[in-house]
Amino acid sequence: MQLTINGKPRSFDAASFSVAHLVNTLELTGKRLAIERNGEIVPRSQFEATQLLDGDKLEIVGAVGGG
């Protein structure tokens, strides 16, 4: 399946997997982040239960220095 992650297209072999699996694949496990899928926030408690599908657009954000 094809996902758009933070504006960039990325291809994956599997037809579908969970948000938790994606976080693990991207080596972001344990990092403090928030994820939006097609404009809707995916609560952390739903990472396991939320299945991603071909064409999904994801935003993965964190806190950085700012004023």
Q: How far apart are CA 66 and CA 41, in angstroms?
A: 23
How many CB atoms neighbour CB 35 within 10 A?
21
Least distance in angstroms from the C-beta of 11 to other proteins: 14
Q: Which residues bind other proteins (CB under 8 A)?
A: 5-8, 26-28, 31-36, 39, 41, 43-44, 59-67
Least distance in angstroms from the C-beta of 33 to other proteins: 6
Question: Which two three-digit tokens encode residue 20?
Answer: 């938790």
Nearer to other proteins, 15 or 67 (CB): 67
Question: Which two three-digit tokens encode residue 44?
Answer: 């952390």
Nearer to other proteins, 1 or 60 (CB): 60
